[in-house]
């Protein structure tokens, strides 16, 4: 229930201080621990960025001058 509460509250845009007061937490670190969706997104974002950076080094990448090649 705590994980669901924190995840849904953050997704709804409720400020951390209000979530902490409602749940009885004294630190944002505890919210982060219970916020499973955000942790999942951060992992996937890192993987996606890593893949993009690898592709950025390819000869055909438009960002680094691969136009018309």
- Per-residue pLDDT reduced to its tens digit, 4-56: 899 889 889 999 999 999 999 999 988 888 887 666 655 566 666 777 777 77
Return the CA Rg of the chain. Answer: 19
What's the confidence (pLDDT) of residue 39? 63
Its pTM stands at 0.53
Cβ-Cβ contacts under 8 Å for 36 (sequence gap 6 or more): 3, 7
CA distance 14 to 61: 40
């Amino acid at each position: 229930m705590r994980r669901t509460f924190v995840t849904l509250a953050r997704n709804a845009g409720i400020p951390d201080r209000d979530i902490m007061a409602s749940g009885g937490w004294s630190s944002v670190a505890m919210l982060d621990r219970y916020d499973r969706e955000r942790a999942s997104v951060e992992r996937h974002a890192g993987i996606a960025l890593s893949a993009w950076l690898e592709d950025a080094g390819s000869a055909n990448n438009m960002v680094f001058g691969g136009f018309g090649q």
